[in-house]
Amino acid sequence: MKISNRADKYNFEKASNRLNGIIKKTGIIYSPVFSKESNNEVYLKPENLQVTGAFKVRGAYNKISKLSEKEKQKGLIASSAGNHAQGVALAAKELGVKATIVMPRSTPLIKVEATKALGADVILYGDCYDEAYNEALQLKEVNDYVFIHPFNDRDIIEGQGTIGNEILKELPDTECIIVPIGGGGLISGIAMAAKKIKPGIKIIGVEPEGAMAMKLSVDKGELVCLDGVCTIADGVAVKNPGDLTFSIIQEYVDEIVTVSDFDIMEACLVLLEKHKLIGENAGVLSLAALKKIKEKGKKTVCLISGGNIDVLTISAMINRGLVTRGRILRFTVDLPDQPGELLKVAKILAELQANVIKLDHNQFKTIDRLMEVQLDVTVETNGHEHISHILDELNKRGYVIKEL
């Protein structure tokens, strides 16, 4: 890949100095579990531990601190699915500037409340980021606010790029960095900063399958606007990537891979269980991508971009992740309506070391409720091989199983 001198127009060192005392320097963590599963030497860059729970404060503070006093007096407006909102709100608070944030109505409550707690005015509008963005632009014109773009802005990109500097200062022999992509500001900054220091480093971007606007744009060679987005990773649910970030990604990013919602849920669970770290859905895209990349045996840093996720969502993610990892099996089986049938199934499960979590014995769910009852079973298992063994054994014993 031939790289121009575009990155020389960005001063990532000065941006790092501006952020001193504002952000946490999130240290890199080695991951034995993700290393083993991907056959790479994997490290985590945990921006979920950042002061606002995400990397966005870096770009927001860098941008707002460079505004003139006249611009600051006008007040700021931004649009965000959550993390940029908190970054702008904190930066505005630190610099004494009034901020208004337009957020989609679907934004998790934890992000809305956190933004308000930092002193910003919050307006909920639209069903996705792009609708909130258009409303923010209208309010900018009406009120003469200064608009703080979440990704398609040089100063925002410069601030996010400080992560690339930090990674290579702490781990100079890094060979690959994997970064989530929403609008593209994060990976644009990291890619330029990292390749400015180490031109041969590989930068891989990750998008969810239901919001892959940047990958489609790069593959087609021109900006692609999606008709809609459908992903659990709300923080990267962007229909329109930026033109500035698109051009940088074309030049500096080596590859973009996509991951499914199931991949994301599994990554969330493993991160929580093995590292005791909470990552939001968009935040763990880099970990979900480890099974998709071609690289093996490489010293790889995965950026966990954020950890702002509400408790109810965490609960749902854990349950789905357990199913995806083969840690929970749920099935139904129709049994003759006579004494002892439930006990027979329970004994088989006990023999197979399947720990029963829940049993629902209901005669009203079957077509012929006078002759049969339906048993709904949830058991704890030790992986997909264990599940196959359980199902095979039940089938051998004459039970017709429907896996849920």
User: Residues with catalytic annotation?
Assistant: 56, 305
* Contacting residues for 284 by C-beta, under 8 A, at least 6 apart: 264, 267, 268, 271, 304
Length of the chain: 404
Can you read off the two tokens belonging to residue 179? 């970064």
Please, are residues 203 and 177 in contact by the beta-carbon 8 Å criterion? Answer: yes
Note the maximum CA span of the chain. Answer: 82
Can you read off the two tokens belonging to residue 198? 């180490």
| Distance separating alpha carbons of residues 3 and 231, to the nearest angstrom | 33
3-state secondary structure of 131: helix
Q: Which residue in 316, 256, 228 sits closest to 280, CA to CA?
A: 316
Radius of gyration of the chain (CA): 24
| Distance separating alpha carbons of residues 400 and 201, to the nearest angstrom | 53
Q: Which residue in 249, 382, 242, 374 sits closest to 325, CA to CA?
A: 382
Q: Which residue in 397, 386, 393 sits closest to 329, CA to CA?
A: 386
Q: How far is CA 106 from CA 81, 126, 132, in A?
A: 8, 8, 11
Element of type H or E holding 383: none
